């Protein structure tokens, strides 16, 4: 007689209902506690007669001095509370750069250029082909004009031309959407890791749009793909101390100067993954903007692992043995990213997770410490805290790892995968292409919460939490997905044979 297998309780429908009941009970514990108490009070009052209620009211002695003092105390406490309360930061609008068709790099074009640029090194060509086959990129990603030459011309002039094209196009679109004038902007923050000219890129924007002389401008470089959220964090801090202000945040990566023409495999990876892109975001702390703003900024959590040598050097710009400069990606990158993510979610978890998930995590932690260290650690269900996830589209491996670790569904990571497929890794601006995808699909509703997660050199893992202020209607004006969102999602095979 064959042995009977024990039932699979992990997939049991009854167990799922038990978990839902537990979540409902814990998350609404105060409600369940207060409703019977309020019902008892109301029932007691209803049972009293008119004479008893009148005598009860007459028994309450009100002293005029006490009433005045109590009123003043309430006013003082209310004033202190509203003065100490952080200002609400609104995301009014954002605009994204959509490269022209002439910049597109289909697989065939990329590989042909790779062969012509590496005629004496067929192994490098074969390596790039294998990476591209497994990258998750599509046929419509774009590279700047300088990279279309054979060989590429990563000159200062070409780099500046790319930066101006991407940044000015994004800012023009943003100003048109919002109707604000350049002189209305009080704070300007530009982040771009690989290209840091003199004068700075923020000065370039001030010059182009003839902004005010007292504008507070900042230029961030060398901070990797997570620099976009660092810029958001900096803008938030500045808006807390400068009332009635607009902050313009520009996130981009200039690809032209980062092209690597050597043979080191770890340095050839960025050639295969990084593509053109940029975003311009308008933030405000003006109360009158709350009605037209798309999102409210709820939290920003930053994690820096730079104290560890391996983490510091896992994304490292250096020269190869032949003296050719490039960015090297370490084999330990995914492990280091996982460690940084763990630290980040440990910080953000208590801020966003419902009480039911926090209690389960706490009980599991105590059980492992006290009873059995081999107990499997409980991974909080972040789907209870967020409706949408924008995971940095750094590559297929990054998205796969986060989907597995956070136990997300295919729909939760759809925006990240489709952004990688359509636009490639656009560095710090990729999160905004993902958010735009969710909007273009008509999935963003009022009250929805969005979690943006980005990784960057150093090594950093940064998170931002947004709450949708109003339902986003489709089609979204000026969206880079406007002419192609109907084709998505698409099936992305594990390997695309070239």
Q: What is the pLDDT of residues 294-349, one digit of tens each?
A: 999 999 999 999 999 999 999 999 999 999 999 999 989 999 999 999 899 888 98
> Model confidence over 259-293: pLDDT tens digits?
998 899 999 999 999 999 999 999 999 999 999 99
> Model confidence over 403-455: pLDDT tens digits?
998 889 999 999 999 999 999 999 999 999 999 999 999 999 999 999 999 99
Top-confidence residue, 31 or 22: 31
Q: Cα separations (Å) of 15 from 9, 400, 402?
A: 7, 27, 26
| pLDDT above 50 for 8 | no
Top-confidence residue, 32 or 298: 298
The chain-wide mean pLDDT, for the chain, equals 88
Confidence bin at 23 (pLDDT 50/70/90): low
pLDDT of residue 2: 46
| pLDDT above 90 for 25 | no
Give the side-chain half-sphere CA count within 13 A for 461: 23
When computed from its CA atoms, the radius of gyration of the chain, rounded to whole angstroms, is: 27
Gap between the Cα atoms of 86 and 467, Å rounded: 16
| pTM for this model (two decimals) | 0.86
The listed CATH number (2.60.40.10, 3.30.2140.20, 3.40.50.300, 3.40.47.10) that belongs to domain 89-487:
3.40.47.10
Segment 372-381 mean pLDDT: 74
Q: Return the closest-CA partner of residue 427 out of 401, 457, 400, 397.
A: 457
Q: What percent of the chain has pLDDT over 70?
A: 89
| pLDDT above 60 for 250 | yes
| pLDDT above 50 for 6 | no
Top-confidence residue, 45 or 80: 80
Gap between the Cα atoms of 340 and 224, Å rounded: 15
pLDDT of residue 72: 78
pLDDT of residue 28: 59
Segment 55-64 mean pLDDT: 66
Q: Return the closest-CA partner of residue 333 out of 307, 314, 306, 313.
A: 314
pLDDT of residue 119: 83
Confidence bin at 4 (pLDDT 50/70/90): very low
Residue extents of the structural domains in the chain: 89-487
Whether the CB-CB separation of 222 and 186 falls below 8 Å is answered with no
> Model confidence over 470-483: pLDDT tens digits?
999 988 888 999 99
Q: What is the 3-state secondary structure (H, E, C) of 292-357?
A: CCCEEEEEEEEEECCCCHHHHHCEEEEECCCCCEEEEECCCHHHHHHHHHHHHHHHHHHHHCCHHH
Instruction: Tell me, rounded to whole angstroms, the distance of Cα 131 from its chain centroid.
Output: 25
Least confident of 47-56, 79-88, 258-267: 47-56
| pLDDT above 50 for 3 | no
pLDDT of residue 302: 96
**Which residues have a catalytic role annotated?**
225, 304, 388, 392, 421, 425
| pLDDT above 70 for 358 | yes
> Model confidence over 147-204: pLDDT tens digits?
999 999 999 999 999 999 999 999 999 999 999 999 999 999 999 999 999 999 999 9
Q: Return the closest-CA partner of residue 403 out of 341, 468, 494.
A: 341
Least confident of 21-25, 79-83, 138-142: 21-25
Whether the CB-CB separation of 395 and 354 falls below 8 Å is answered with no
Token pair in block for residue 181: 């004038």
Gap between the Cα atoms of 216 and 187, Å rounded: 5
């Amino acid at each position: 007689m064959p042995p009977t297998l024990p039932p699979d309780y992990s997939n049991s429908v009854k167990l799922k209902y038990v978990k839902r009941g537990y979540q409902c009970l814990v998350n609404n514990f105060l409600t369940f506690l207060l409703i019977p108490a309020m019902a008892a009070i109301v029932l007691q009052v209803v049972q009293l007669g008119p004479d008893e209620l009148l005598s009860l009211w007459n028994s309450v002695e009100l002293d005029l001095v006490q009433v005045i003092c109590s009123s003043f105390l309430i006013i003082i406490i209310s004033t202190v509370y509203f003065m100490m309360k952080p200002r609400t930061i609104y995301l009014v609008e954002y605009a994204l750069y959509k490269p022209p068709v002439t910049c597109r790099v289909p697989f065939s074009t990329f590989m042909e250029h790779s062969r012509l640029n590496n005629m004496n090194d067929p192994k490098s060509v074969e390596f790039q082909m294998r990476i591209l086959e497994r990258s998750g990129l599509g046929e419509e990603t774009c590279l700047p004009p300088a990279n279309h030459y054979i060989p590429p011309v990563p000159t200062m002039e070409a780099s500046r031309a790319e930066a101006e094209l991407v940044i000015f196009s994004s800012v023009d679109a943003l100003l048109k959407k919002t109707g604000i004038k350049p002189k209305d902007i009080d704070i300007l923050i530009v982040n771009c890791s690989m290209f840091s000219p003199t004068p700075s890129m923020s000065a370039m924007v001030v010059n182009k749009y003839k902004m005010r002389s007292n504008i507070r401008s900042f230029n961030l470089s060398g901070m990797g793909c997570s620099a976009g959220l660092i810029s958001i964090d900096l803008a938030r801090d500045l808006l807390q101390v400068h009332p009635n202000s607009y902050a313009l945040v520009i996130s981009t990566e200039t690809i032209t100067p980062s092209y690597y023409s050597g043979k080191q495999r770890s340095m050839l990876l960025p050639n295969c993954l990084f593509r053109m892109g940029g975003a311009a975001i308008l933030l405000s702390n003006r109360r009158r903007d709350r009605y037209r703003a798309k999102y409210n900024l709820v939290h920003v959590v930053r994690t820096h692992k730079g104290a560890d040598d391996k983490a510091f050097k896992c994304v490292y710009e250096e020269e190869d043995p032949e003296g050719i400069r490039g960015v090297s990606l370490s084999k330990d990158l995914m492990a280091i990213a996982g460690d940084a993510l763990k630290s980040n979610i440990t910080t953000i978890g208590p801020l966003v997770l419902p009480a039911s998930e926090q209690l389960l995590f706490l009980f599991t932690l105590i059980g492992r410490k006290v009873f059995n260290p081999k107990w499997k650690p409980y991974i909080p269900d972040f789907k209870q805290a967020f409706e949408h996830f924008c995971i940095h589209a750094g590559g297929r491996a990054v998205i796969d790892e986060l989907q597995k670790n956070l136990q997300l569904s295919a729909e939760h990571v759809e925006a990240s995968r489709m952004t990688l497929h359509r636009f490639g890794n656009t560095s710090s601006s990729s999160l905004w292409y993902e958010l735009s995808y969710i909007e273009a699909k008509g999935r963003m509703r009022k009250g929805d919460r969005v979690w943006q997660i980005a990784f960057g050199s150093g090594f950093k893992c940064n998170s931002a939490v947004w709450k949708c202020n109003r339902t986003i209607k489709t089609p979204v004006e000026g969206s880079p997905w406007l002419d192609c969102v109907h084709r998505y999602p698409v099936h992305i095979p594990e390997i695309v044979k070239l």
